[in-house]
Amino acid sequence: MSKKKNENEEEIKEEVVAETMDDISEELPAEEPQAEETDARDEKIAALEAELQAKQKEAEELKDRLIRNQADTENYRKRLLKEKEDAVKYANTALVKDLLGPLDDFSRALEASKNSDNIDAIREGVSMIEDRIYSILKTSWGLEIIDAEGVPFDPNEHEACMMEVSEDAKEETVSMILQKGYKVNGRVVRSAKVKVTKPAD
């Protein structure tokens, strides 16, 4: 009886040990899944490294493009500045070219006056040259002459250099032009110097 009991206890112990070993083996991770996880992790790291390299390359390209754009912008700014300086420097070239013809006429008139006693002819020639100059400046450059007498005094166009009082005057009026004034495209570039007649107080 005691022997049988001992055998039963031994069998129970063996069963318990076997079940425990089975439980332990179930809990332990299999070798295959560990290898798969390692491979997946390596692939992910490799993918991240490749993406990082691509981003670094893109950043370098953007940096290079930015540097080139800055250089282009600086060159463009310098070119605009040079063009502006040239425009200011040579702004009057067209005007000078327009006046070269009348200047040649003046030279010819002066040369002709040395061998001529005909003052009227010389005066007429000079008057024609003056008319030509005014015509060029009016047509091509918008010149207007301020030289009208008998018009109301306008401080925007006239500079009063002399003043007289008249009982007949109803308002301040330009009675004499002492020096012509000029406007270019409607803007006064030189006021006319005038004598003004004003009404008595």
Task: Give the pLDDT score at 28.
Answer: 47
Average pLDDT for 165-188: 93
Q: Which helix (H) or strand (E) holds 159?
A: strand 158-166
Burial string for 110-144 (b: 16+ CB within 10 Å, else e) reads: eeebeeeeeeeeeeebeeebeeebeebbeeeeebb
Task: Give the pLDDT score at 10.
Answer: 66
**Rounded CA separation 34/46 (Å):** 18
Average pLDDT for 164-175: 90
Residue 126 has pLDDT above 60, yes or no: yes
Task: Give the pLDDT score at 112.
Answer: 86
Residue 187 has pLDDT above 90, yes or no: yes
Query: What residue type is assigned to position 134 of the chain?
Result: Y
Q: pLDDT tens digits for 42-71? A: 888 888 998 999 999 999 999 999 999 999
pLDDT band at 147 (very low <50, low <70, confident <90, very high): very high
Name every residue whose Cβ is closer than 8 Å to that of residue 165 and which is 6 or more positions away in sequence.
197, 198, 199, 200
pTM attached to this predicted model:
0.57
Name every residue whose Cβ is closer than 8 Å to that of residue 171 and which is 6 or more positions away in sequence.
152, 153, 198, 199
